[in-house]
């Protein structure tokens, strides 16, 4: 079997050349909802590199967006290099909402791989519109209580009630969900100012987490988690019922694996 695998590798190597990966670099561009995303003509600096990189930021509450392309001389790509992060924060008094969505991309499987994917994601996300007043109204009964609540109780990881904060100290209840293992941890978080009310989402090819921080007595329950996830999915903030920012998964085909091996081999020559 090893002989056949070696023969296939040698056959492929005979057709491939060790030309360096080509990446667009030193490109950054800010835009907003008043203008459609258009790839900047000034982004025309192309270099030989080990891997292509892109960083995208979408600040939906003020409708400002950011697009950046860079490169790196190293070719190693870790799972954590390709990730999405989302942060939704609510002011419990004014009901003001802040929502950011970040995308990090690193790849080396083809020329300008990061640029192509970044353009696709930017075209998709920059077209999203959110009704934050409607969103807060739906989340309120699960996450927002009186800001001057005298005693705030939360569940701990053993699902036992505990006193989290008592005025003048203020705090929030926390529930973190490791999505892939469906593990749930619960805790209390003391606030130095206003009680924190937020939802954090993170995912890469190996991990996915969903954390909610609520200011309501005994709010860090699985029932709250399920209700909040359903609301975010309905409002197009998440794309899967379990609370992920994207439904795309990372899969390595046999051909791509051979490509990655060969790219590493080329960079060692």
In a domain, 84, yes or no: yes
In a domain, 2, yes or no: no
Residue 235 has pLDDT above 60, yes or no: yes
Q: What pLDDT is recorded for position 134?
A: 97
Residue for token pair 């992920």 = 244
pTM summary value: 0.84
Question: What is the average pLDDT across 11-34?
Answer: 74
Residue 13 has pLDDT above 80, yes or no: no
Instruction: Please write the tens of the pLDDT for every residue from 175-225.
Output: 999 999 999 999 999 998 899 999 999 999 899 999 999 999 999 999 999
Range of the domain at 157: 20-268
In a domain, 186, yes or no: yes
Q: What pLDDT is recorded for position 265?
A: 45
Q: What pLDDT is recorded for position 36?
A: 79
Q: What pLDDT is recorded for position 154?
A: 97
- Mean pLDDT score across all residues of the chain: 87
In a domain, 43, yes or no: yes
Residue for token pair 């399920």 = 226
Question: What is the average pLDDT across 131-144?
Answer: 97
In a domain, 9, yes or no: no
Q: How confident is the model at residue 80 (pLDDT cuts 50, 70, 90)?
A: confident
C-beta of residue 21 within 8 angstroms of C-beta of residue 46 = no
The tally of domains found in the chain comes to 1
| Rounded Cα distance, 87 and 200, in Å | 5
In a domain, 15, yes or no: no
DSSP letters of 118-140?
HHHHHHHHTT----HHHHHHHHH
In a domain, 10, yes or no: no
Residue 241 has pLDDT above 90, yes or no: yes
């Amino acid at each position: 079997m090893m002989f056949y695998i070696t023969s296939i590798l040698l056959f492929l190597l005979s057709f491939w050349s060790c030309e360096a990966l080509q990446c667009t670099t030193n490109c950054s561009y800010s835009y907003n909802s008043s203008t459609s995303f258009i790839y900047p003509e000034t982004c025309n600096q192309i270099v030989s590199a080990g891997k292509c990189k892109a960083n995208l930021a979408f600040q939906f509450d003020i409708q400002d967006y950011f697009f950046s392309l860079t490169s790196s001389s190293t070719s190693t790509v870790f799972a954590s290099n390709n990730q999405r992060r989302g942060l939704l924060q609510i002011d419990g008094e004014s009901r003001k909402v802040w929502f950011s969505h970040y995308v990090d991309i690193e790849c080396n499987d083809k020329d300008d791989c990061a640029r192509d994917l970044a353009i696709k994601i930017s075209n998709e996300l920059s077209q999203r519109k959110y009704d934050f007043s409607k969103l807060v109204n739906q989340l309120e009964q699960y996450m927002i209580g009186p800001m001057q609540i005298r005693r705030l109780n939360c569940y701990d990881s053993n699902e036992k009630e505990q006193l989290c904060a008592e005025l003048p100290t203020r705090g929030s209840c926390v529930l973190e969900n490791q999505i892939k293992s469906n593990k749930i941890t619960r805790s209390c978080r003391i606030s130095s100012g206003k009680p924190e009310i937020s939802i954090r989402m993170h995912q890469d090819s190996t991990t996915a987490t969903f954390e909610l921080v609520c200011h309501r007595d005994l709010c860090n329950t699985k029932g709250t988690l399920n209700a909040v996830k359903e609301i975010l999915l309905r409002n197009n903030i998440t794309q899967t019922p379990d609370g992920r920012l994207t439904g795309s998964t990372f899969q390595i085909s046999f051909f791509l694996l051979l490509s990655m091996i060969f790219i590493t081999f080329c960079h060692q020559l």
